[in-house]
Structure 1
Amino acid sequence: MLYFLIWLLRPTPVSTLAAEYPLTPCRAECTIDVNPSVLARNGDPLHLEWSIESGNESDFIGFFAPPFRSATYDDYVMLFRPHMIGASEHTVSLTNLRAPFYDVRYISATTGQCLCRANERLRFEMGHREPTQGHVTMDTTTGALKVHWVSGDPNPGFVEYKAAGDADWSMRHATVATYDFHDMCGGEVDNYYDPGYFYSATLPGDLKGEVTVRFGSISYRSEAFTIATPVPPGSDEVHSVALFGDMGVQSFFRGPDKVEVPNGRWDTYWVQDHMRANPRLRMAVHFGDVSYAMGRSRVWDLFGTAVEDVAMRMPYMVSVGNHEFDYVGGGWHPSWGNFGMDSGGECGVPTKHRYQFPYWWYTFSFGLVRYVMLSSEHDWTEGSEQWQWLDEQLAEVDRSVTPWVIVTAHRPMLVSGYDPSERAVEDHMYPALGPLLKKHRVNLFVAGHWHYYERTHPVKGTVHVLAGSAGAYDLHDVFEDLPRVAARWPDVRGYLELKVTKDELEGTFWGINNTMTDRRMAVFDHFTVAPWAEGPVEILHTEVL
């Protein structure tokens, strides 16, 4: 029996796999050498060297993985353009897509033809069974850590953990779920690939300090990660939280600005790199427009791999934006809204399987703060289910335990950027939700959607921050000159670091733009918020750098 099981689990020879997935023809006008051809783990580095006598500056080296949807060049997973590298070699980090192999091709920009392919097909040692894309969330009721991962193997999974000082590993079993194309709400079937299986295991709620975890199955385990446990509700331990929206995938590949993936242009590398190196951060709050997959399954795999080093260091709390949820044939479509097909038919299904939040809107406590995660993509008008829930939740906050209240949503209520379709939504949103912020003395409202940074002075007591700048890149040049605006940085990518103490909230906007030659994140805005205790909230001092 044992030998039969080993035979079942044996890797399929690459020659057999290639026969099952016919490759598009390639010429022999160049060479590509790859090393290694077998990668040990998801995200491992791959070195490429290439040689071509003449090429176009728009030519690219693309990474393709079966099942192939098209015989043309537009079926790529990711690509880079050799002329941008300035050399004939480059190193990238490769994502395990649970595909049998990668085919690397040099594509002519003028003809779309494959001029050559790599000398070897690439594969991963653990194949589709590797546990990948680890990330941590927090049980919104108990505060216990929840560890999530993705694998192509539906067999029983578990997480092993040990607190500092423990000699032995303890174990918690995982639940597993998946979805298919028919669980979503339309979109293009050619963009859909098997998403794998989504595992989730909850750790004991009484763990303190740091905990080391690894996850997977009996035969296939992840590497070990060290996670900071959540700050308990009511604890006055000083800590920082990262708040941001609109990240997407540029990727963490070695050589930022060198790798492109489907669906846009991003500057996420710098933001992710700064967050993973910031020792003050204890939690990340990502309010919508997460991966920008928009129906392209493999973009979720790329995002999950790119953000793993951040999301396995601290709880990574997520809510949906228009590019996760909006779809036609369902959802919320008020006559004045612009809620279209922005999710590419996903209707929140991939997001909820990965991050497993309890509902489209939810709340939780972390230290001295009560966080409220709204969904701007569901009905929030006065009297709606979400509006009533928000009113009730804010009324129930115990300010002796969590004196600070922060509300987040993907879309902002107040912003100086002008677009007619967006302004129509904002003109309805603030009259509906603004009175609740004032009534319940909310300290801070943070949102994204617009891809830049902005902060207001207190508006009826609440400071509004726009931080939809974690990677999505477009330049907006139509702004209104509004006296409530205290700071605005239209062309800067970055995130808001919020330091929490019992006396104040201290905000720092870390950013980077294309004029900064050293490409290091710098402080663009700094502000401090005082409590409501003595009347309306005041910004004690403002320093725009």
Structure 2
Amino acid sequence: VALIVFLSHIGSFVPADAATVGLTDRIFCAMGSKFMTAEQSTFMIDLHQVGMMLRQATSRSLCLLDEFGKGTLTEDGIGLLGGTISHFASCNEPPRVLVCTHLTELLNESCLPVSEMIKFYTMSVLRPDTECANMEEIVFLYRYEVSTSNLLFTLLRLHECSLFLDSQGVPEEVVKRAAIVLDAFESNNNVDKLNLDNISSQDQAFKDAVDKFMEFDISKDDYVRPKPRQALQFPWKQKSISQPEQVHISLAGDKHMRVSWVTNDKSSPSFVEYGTSPGKYAFLGQGESTSYSYIFYRSGKIHHAVIGPLEPDTVYYYRCGGGGPEFHLKTPPAQFPITFAVAGDLGQTGWTKSTLDHIDQCKYEVHLLPGDLSYADYMQHKWDTFGELVQPLASVRPWMVTQGNHEKRIFPMWWKMPYAESGSNSNLYYSFEVAGVHVIMLGSYTDYDRYSDQYNWLKGDLTKVDRERTPWLIALFHVPWYNSNDAHQNEGDGMMAEMEPLLYASGVDIVFTGHVHAYERTKRVNNGKSDPCGPVHITIGDGGNREGLARKYKDPSPEWSVFREASFGHGELQMVNSTHAHWTWHRNDDDEPTKSDEVWLTSLVNSGCWTEKKWNENLRKILMEP
């Protein structure tokens, strides 16, 4: 547990399918082997370590108590451990404490206070449906379950522990079965007798894992550990301090692109040379630069330069700052068809790399990302590693992004979007048009009420949309409004109450969100229920983040939910023409993209809904009221 917490805080690979790890300031555990040289007993070392916990642990600390109280009289150990747990339980803001102990007398003698802060867990076993008559029908699981029982089912030698186990009320058949299993392992005998047919229904879900384990023959040594998913590595490379890094591009108004990059010196110029032939740069785009400090972190020089006017559907070659490697980009087409790649909550994991590889395989023109890019939080160096990770894709096709909860602070420094070009005064909300599509990016973490700048900008932007020129209208923001996953329930309700009437009145076709680490697609919805004239909401926060998947959904699913799955992946939205679009979602299946959901969509402009909305007095008032 301590290693997982530590690895997650340094941004390393975490060996877990799913984990929720809060911010932790200190980890306290028995790591006092250095005191052995001072001829201190393990008991004295334990006392020293626990004393540090009691004095210094905060509400953000993690404390590990492993067999505290050993090495002295049982009564003394019970008193010390019971007093320590009671102290933590009585704190107003206690740390997180994990305790492992054999002192079950703590429960028998009621040594602990009755408190919601204290939870008990025990190891579980597979039991048969009927009364156990055969001791060979007990199967032990490596699984914890919530229990106030003091029965610790453990693989222990019968001749060493029978008296203790009997005194604790452990069934005799469990004791005997433990001895048989232990002897089987020690004698290299097959343990296939553990594979039972009459497993109880409540543990049926775990039988497959037991069966898989039983397939291995210990005597043949035929178990081969599968290769772990490799953590992303960013090896040190010797570079010139003025060499451009983290190069990425974005749309910057009509026929223009913004090129962004970082250098590690303070004197590199902020301009981009570009042209339509390799090595021949007939044009020059001037820019600007900035930098910042955050605690001990010092950013490089962050450059942004606008180039254009550019021809549509054309390859341009460019280099940044007058030196370094040559890059190339391809501008989007002027009209349909056009394809968007969509993926949110990327992060920097092995799954992220798979998602990016799959996106690189599809033929797309623009990447849409509804928040949570680098997962930098307070670790600002992660912006650098994220920039290096996405550069092969983001330097070739424009990436249009909005802010997530993991980049609330410094996001605008690194990823400058066309907010000024779209009449916004904040990088957190803006719009752009490309090939017959008007795309609106909104901020879930800035003010959105009807008196806010964002609300009034959105209303003004929507009234300017020409649905003859841009028949498709798409919106993106981070926190979903329609979500049947257990994760992040109701977090978007406030923004939904204020802004959903605007999106509905203006005929938004599709809404993309992230935040929930899973995939879900709805019917056309509005005001909490199906509506043929509302937008389709798609949650796609499954790019590969470090926090893992959100696996639990509400049951039964709401009537408006069409498809939902907790898997990493990405989406592709092909706008075929002014009337029809094809959406597909591709699951990361064993590192291969698997198309798992698809739907054809008809634009609201061509469905009859738009005509109805244009002449609906109530909807017109929503957009026109001051």
The TM-score range, normalised by the shorter chain, is: 0.5 to 0.7
1:534 corresponds to? 607
In structure 2, distance between residues paired with 1:75 and 1:129: 30
In structure 2, distance between residues paired with 1:215 and 1:416: 46
1:177–1:391 distance in 2 versus 1, CA, 3 Å: same
> Residue 440 of structure 1: CA displacement?
0.8
The answer to whether the Cα contact below 8 Å between 1:496 and 1:507 also exists between their aligned partners in 2 is yes
Pick from 448, 452, 460 the counterpart of residue 514 of structure 2. Answer: 448
Identity %: 25
1:20 corresponds to? none
2:394 corresponds to? 311
1:493 corresponds to? 568
Pick from 567, 585, 588 the counterpart of residue 509 of structure 1. Answer: 585
Greater fraction of residues in helix: 2
1:431–1:125 distance in 2 versus 1, CA, 3 Å: closer
Cα-to-partner distance string for 1:440-461 (whole Å, 9 max, x where unaligned): 1111111011011101111132
> Residue 351 of structure 1: CA displacement?
3.9
> Residue 243 of structure 1: CA displacement?
1.9
> Residue 166 of structure 1: CA displacement?
8.8
In structure 2, distance between residues paired with 1:271 and 1:79: 17
Counterpart check, 1:194 vs 2:298? yes
The answer to whether the Cα contact below 8 Å between 2:549 and 2:568 also exists between their aligned partners in 1 is no
The residue identity in structure 1 corresponding to 2:448 is: W
1:157–1:401 distance in 2 versus 1, CA, 3 Å: same
Pick from 173, 178, 183 the counterpart of residue 291 of structure 2. Answer: 178
The residue identity in structure 2 corresponding to 1:138 is: L
Cα-to-partner distance string for 1:231-285 (whole Å, 9 max, x where unaligned): 33xx2x31200122111011xxxxxx4xxxxxxxxx1111100112212x00011
The residue identity in structure 1 corresponding to 2:524 is: P
The answer to whether the Cα contact below 8 Å between 2:12 and 2:231 also exists between their aligned partners in 1 is no
In structure 2, distance between residues paired with 1:457 and 1:91: 37
Counterpart check, 1:471 vs 2:544? yes
Pick from 436, 440, 453 the counterpart of residue 372 of structure 1. Answer: 440
The TM-score normalised by the length of structure 2 is: 0.56
1:228–1:429 distance in 2 versus 1, CA, 3 Å: same
* Mapping of residues 50-449 of structure 1, within 5 Å: 78=12, 94=234, 123-126=237-240, 128-139=241-252, 141-155=253-267, 156-164=269-277, 167-181=280-294, 189=295, 192-218=296-322, 220-221=323-324, 223-232=325-334, 235=335, 237-250=336-349, 257=350, 267-279=351-363, 281-325=364-408, 347=409, 349-358=410-419, 359=426, 360-419=428-487, 422-449=488-515
> Residue 355 of structure 1: CA displacement?
2.8
The number of aligned residues is 379
In structure 1, distance between residues paired with 2:260 and 2:442: 22
The residue identity in structure 2 corresponding to 1:354 is: W
In structure 1, distance between residues paired with 2:225 and 2:257: 42
The answer to whether the Cα contact below 8 Å between 2:13 and 2:232 also exists between their aligned partners in 1 is no
Cα-to-partner distance string for 1:115-142 (whole Å, 9 max, x where unaligned): xxxxxxxx5142x332101000111x33
Counterpart check, 1:520 vs 2:619? no
2:102 corresponds to? none
The answer to whether the Cα contact below 8 Å between 1:95 and 1:302 also exists between their aligned partners in 2 is no
Greater fraction of residues in strand: 1
1:465–1:225 distance in 2 versus 1, CA, 3 Å: same
> Residue 167 of structure 1: CA displacement?
4.9
> Residue 91 of structure 1: CA displacement?
11
> Residue 298 of structure 1: CA displacement?
1.4
Counterpart check, 1:484 vs 2:560? yes
In structure 1, distance between residues paired with 2:366 and 2:433: 12
1:216–1:440 distance in 2 versus 1, CA, 3 Å: closer
In structure 2, distance between residues paired with 1:135 and 1:168: 19
> Residue 388 of structure 1: CA displacement?
2.3
1:424–1:91 distance in 2 versus 1, CA, 3 Å: closer
In structure 2, distance between residues paired with 1:165 and 1:321: 37
The answer to whether the Cα contact below 8 Å between 2:522 and 2:536 also exists between their aligned partners in 1 is yes
> Residue 92 of structure 1: CA displacement?
7.3
The TM-score normalised by the length of structure 1 is: 0.64
1:275–1:245 distance in 2 versus 1, CA, 3 Å: same
The answer to whether the Cα contact below 8 Å between 2:587 and 2:595 also exists between their aligned partners in 1 is yes
> Residue 356 of structure 1: CA displacement?
4.5
The residue identity in structure 1 corresponding to 2:472 is: W
In structure 2, distance between residues paired with 1:462 and 1:396: 19
Q: Return the structure number with greater relative CO, CA threshold 8 A, min gap 6.
A: 1
Cα-to-partner distance string for 1:103-160 (whole Å, 9 max, x where unaligned): xxxxxxxxxxxxxxxxxxxx5142x332101000111x33401111011122213322
> Residue 165 of structure 1: CA displacement?
8.6
The answer to whether the Cα contact below 8 Å between 1:157 and 1:215 also exists between their aligned partners in 2 is no
> Residue 428 of structure 1: CA displacement?
2.7
Query: SS at the partner of 1:377?
Result: coil
Query: SS at the partner of 1:458?
Result: strand
In structure 1, distance between residues paired with 2:561 and 2:513: 15
1:393–1:320 distance in 2 versus 1, CA, 3 Å: same
Once superposed, what is the RMSD of the aligned Cα atoms? Answer: 2.9
